[in-house]
Structures are given as structure tokens and as C-alpha cells.
Amino acid sequence: MQYQLADAEARVLILLDTFYPTAHALRKQSRLEHLVLTSPADFLPPVLRVLYRIAQWRSRQAESHFRQELRADQTLHAMYPLMETSGGETRAIDTSLVPLEAADLAVLQYTGGTTGRPKGAMLTHRALLANALQTRVWFPGVRDGMEVMLCVAPFFHAYGMTAGMNVSILVAATMVLFPRFKAKEIARSIRREHPTLFPGIPTMYLALLHQTSRHSADFGSINYCISGAAPLPAQVQTDFETITHGKLVEGYGLSEAGPVTHCNPLTQERRNGSIGLPLPDVEAAIVDQETGKSLPTGVVGELVVRGPNVMRGYWKREQETAAALRDGWLHTGDLGRMDEDGYFSIVERIKDVIIASGFKVYPREVEEVLLRHGAVKQAAVVGLADAYRGETVAAFVVLKEGQSGSEALRRELILWCERELTAYKVPKLLEFRTSLPLSLIGKVLRRELQAKSLPPEGAGR
């Protein structure tokens, strides 16, 4: 927060009162001029308001502290009364309307920072509206005013903002909101609220599979799911469709494009491992990383895109903007290929490719093999520095409940990979973990895995 507030030169921060102590501590290191606090209790009937505050003991502590300072600090505001005041009051923020153009900056969408320092992608009003329209037309048969959208992907993430919030508003869908993902709570909500649309990420679908039986009709209301933010394992896709009888397809996007650029059609047979076709008005190509020239069908190169949803550039980063936006094309930093039918597949992020003894190893390919083993729940593969090979293929595995991380199972997983993969792609190191480090959206933080040393020579080989 401190980094983003400083980088964005933010002057006003709107937040839940439970986060007030954090914001208060950050004020001295930022340019913040105003804090606007709110609480769900502000919008509840009187009885429920009292019950909510009793249930939220920590919130009441923060609120009490906030209320005391509110009376003395002219830069601290309660959102609910502020919304009812005119812009002319001395302690209120000026709420007069400001003329806007479609090309004006709407959002600084910070990148995930899974491989480096987050950058603020400058998304315009036109870009956000375009991407909401592009995503909406991809849902066949969506009925305006009649859908129920399960909103679990956080709105601070580009995918949650567009596929969850903006598309819901566009189609007047009922929004079932959750501030964080807890599988048991989400499963109960699906049974109670009967959502029809569920944009999520692979780890969410995987967690929900453990909350219901294979033949359960509990999730039968779900018609369409688009998985984004991370690669969708084929087994997760199959199992979730079996339970819901709906469609779960993989899409693709990045913060710099609002974010959605590709998706598999919801009306056709799925293609495992493909991110699908470009959305309407999105142009996409596979180019040589060095020359920028288009590559033939089936050849791996960098995915580039252009369209009305693409960012204006990176906030205060001219050099990075020039590297990402070239001749009107956004260079995604992802390696991919296109087949003869125009379907695209992502092979790997350029920064994640492992160079082992001069050979390229794509972590996703190795992860897919590990995930097909019956004992494996999650898997992440990274390259670790190696004096002999340059990089060594290292696998981090989370086992399914009831499985034990024994040496025998470790050898079994290595042999499993040897049967399925070329020799140089087989993990030379394999470590069992109880969990993998994830970003707030659920992406594996590979840099954290690389930063932590594996067992010494001989262990885990």
C-alpha cells in the first residue's frame, strides 16, 4: 500500500474502518490529504447495524478510535454523511462533477508484481467500457437483469474489476459479494443464492471441488464460468463441469489490456490448454521476440495484442512503456502459439522459462504432468540456479488430503515425470509443501519459491 500510494501520488483514500489503523500509520509516508471511511453497518437497518457491530469486535475498536479523531481532524471523513452533504461545506470534499472524455485516465491498475515491482497500467474510461462490452458478448444467452454473478475475484484485480464488477453492472446482474475467498462459505452461498455466472481462478474451482461430492446437484445453477489470472488445469476443468453441468473455459488477459483479450467459446467443444480466440475488436499475433516479425502457425513466439481495451502506458514509466507498446501493439511478455484454426495457447511467461543445460523448459508443461498424478493437489515448477546446468528444474508439490510426503512417493513422482517428459524437463529436485505462496488473486509467487533454498545436496533428489 505504501509503495502504490506513493507511486500513484494518491491524495484521497477511501477504505473500510477496519483498515483505519493501517491507513493512519501510512499517512506520514504518503501525500494523502483526506481519508474517507465507511462500514457495511452504515447501510444496514438499525437492528442489523447493532448486530453487525457486535459481531465485528475488532471493527468496533477501529471505529471507536476513528470516531474520536473524526471530531478533531478536518481531513478525516465518514462516507455516509459525506454522501448526504453538499460540496460547499467546509469539512466536505468537493463533490462537484468534473467533465470527462473517453480518453481520460480512469484507473491506475497495478500489475501483480509476481516477477518484479508492480507498475501502474493507465486504463482509460474507453478501455474499461470496451473490455466490459467485449466480455459481455462472449456470454451467450445472458439475460439482462436476470443473472446472478458470484463475485469472489477481488475488484482491485483487473480480472475481478472487469469480469466481476463491470460486466455485472453492464447486464444488471445481482452481485453476490465476498471480500475474500473461503471455500466453505462460498459453497454455502452457491447453495443459497444460486449464482448463474462465476468468473474465478483455478485455485477457487479446485477448492470448491473439495466441498461437494462428484454427483452433487448443489452447484447446478452455475451456467458459465470463465477462468482467468492463471493456467487452468485440464482435470480441474473436467471435474468442475461434471459437478455443475455448466461450462468452464479458460480465458486470458493482463492488467495492461483491461484485462481480457482471449477466451474459449462457451458454445463449442473445449480445447484443453488453449486460451481460445481473441475477443471482438482485439487483434492478436505471435511474433519473434528479437525482430518483431510475425511467425508461422504453430511456432512459439511472443504474444502481442492491440485493441480499444489496451492501456495508454505505464504511469510515470516512459522506458517501460516504450518497451511494452511498440507500433501500436502491446507486447505481453508471454510465449505462445496459434494453431491453424486461430486458437491461441500460452506456453509460458518469458521470465519463467527455465534454461537447463541450454534447453528451454516450460514450467506449465511439467506442472500439468504432476497434476495428472492422483496424489497431487497443487504443483509449481521453477528454475533454480545451478553451477553445472545453468538452471535446475525444481518442483514444489502440495499433496491431496490423506497423502503422506514420503521418500517412496517422491521417487514415484519423479518416475511419473520420466515416463511423461523428455529427460531434461524432469525435475531434479522435488519438495513437498503444505501450501504454495500465492498472490492475493491466487497466482503462485514463483519468485518466493526461488528465493527459498531447497534441501541440501542429496535430499529430495
Strands 354-356, 344-349: pairing kind: unpaired
More confident residue, 318 or 444: 318
pLDDT of residue 118: 82
**Confidence check: pLDDT of 449 > 60:** yes
| pLDDT at residue 27, rounded to an integer | 83
pLDDT of residue 60: 53
pLDDT score recorded for residue 66: 60
Residue 365 has pLDDT above 50, yes or no: yes
Of residues 116 and 324, the one with the higher pLDDT is 324
**With the C-alpha atoms ordered 65, 69, 75, 76, is the resulting torsion angle positive or negative?**
positive
On the question of pLDDT at 453 being above 80, the answer is no
Buried-state track 174-211, b at ≥16 Cβ within 10 A, e below 16:
bebeeeebeeeebbebbbeeebbbbbbbbbbbbbbbeb
Sequence-ordered list of residues with C-beta below 8 angstroms from that of 266, at least 6 positions apart, any chain:
138, 139, 140, 224, 226, 247, 249
The answer to pTM > 0.85 is no
Distance CA 242, CA 35 (A): 47
CA angle 278, 226, 229 (to 5 degrees): 80
Beta strands in 34-156 (DSSP E): 34-38, 76-78, 105-110, 120-124, 148-151
**105-275+306-320 and 353-451 have identical folds:** no
Predicted confidence band of residue 341 (pLDDT cuts 50, 70, 90): very high
Tell me the fold of 353-451.
GMP Synthetase; Chain A, domain 3 (3.30.300)
Q: How confident is the model at residue 460 (pLDDT cuts 50, 70, 90)?
A: very low
Q: Residue 257: how many CB atoms within 10 A of its CB?
A: 27
Query: Residue range 443-459: average pLDDT?
Result: 64
What are the domain boundaries of the chain?
A: 2-84, 105-275+306-320, 353-451
DSSP state of 93: P
Predicted pLDDT at 114: 53
- Residue 236 parent element (H or E): helix 234-244
Closest CA to 279 of 257, 294, 298, 312: 257
Query: What is the pLDDT at residue 3?
Result: 86
Lowest mean pLDDT among 284-293, 364-373, 445-454: 445-454
Q: How far apart are CA 199 and CA 149, in angstroms?
A: 8
Position 457 scores a pLDDT of 39
Say which DSSP state 354 is in: E
More confident residue, 282 or 216: 282
Report the pLDDT averaged over residues 47-68: 64
Looking at residue 157, what is its pLDDT?
A: 86
346 C-beta neighbours (distance < 10 Å), count: 20
pLDDT tens digit sequence for 182-221: 888 999 999 999 999 999 988 888 888 888 765 467 788 9
What is the residue whose three cell numbers read 540456479? Answer: 385
Instruction: Please state which of the ranges 23-27, 216-220, 310-314, 399-403 shows the lowest mean pLDDT.
Output: 216-220
pLDDT at 439 over 80: no
- The better pLDDT of the pair 71, 15 is held by 15
Per-residue pLDDT reduced to its tens digit, 101-115 = 999 999 999 986 555
CA distance linking residue 156 with residue 162, whole number of Å: 10
Q: Look up cell 545436496; give the residue.
A: 457
pLDDT at res. 91: 47
pLDDT of residue 112: 66
Confidence of residue 45 (pLDDT cuts 50, 70, 90): confident
Share of the chain above pLDDT 90, in %: 46
Q: What is the pLDDT of residue 90?
A: 45
Task: Please list, in sequence order, all residues whose beta carbon lies within 8 angstroms of the beta carbon of residue 328, skipping any fewer than 6 positions away.
Answer: 306
Element (H, E) at 384: strand 376-386
**CATH class given for the domain over 105-275+306-320:** alpha beta
Position 38 confidence tier, pLDDT thresholds 50, 70, 90: confident
Q: What is the mean pLDDT of the chain?
A: 85
pLDDT attached to residue 224: 92
Highest mean pLDDT among 264-278, 310-324, 374-388: 310-324
Q: What band does 141 get if pLDDT is binned at 50, 70 and 90?
A: confident
* Backbone phi, psi, residue 96, to 5°: -65, 150
Mean pLDDT in residue range 422-450: 85
The model's confidence at residue 49, banded by pLDDT at 50, 70 and 90, is confident
Higher pLDDT, 329 or 290: 329
Element of type H or E holding 227 = strand 224-227
Q: How close are the terminal C-alpha atoms of the chain, in Å?
A: 40
pLDDT at 67: 62
pLDDT at 271: 76
Give the highest mean pLDDT range of 92-96, 146-150, 247-251: 146-150
Angle at 334 between CA 333 and CA 335, to 5 degrees: 125
Q: Return the half-sphere exposure (C-beta side, CA atoms, 13 A cut-off) of residue 309.
A: 29
pLDDT, greater one: 120 or 28:
120
Angle of CA points 269, 275, 281, to nearest 5°: 100
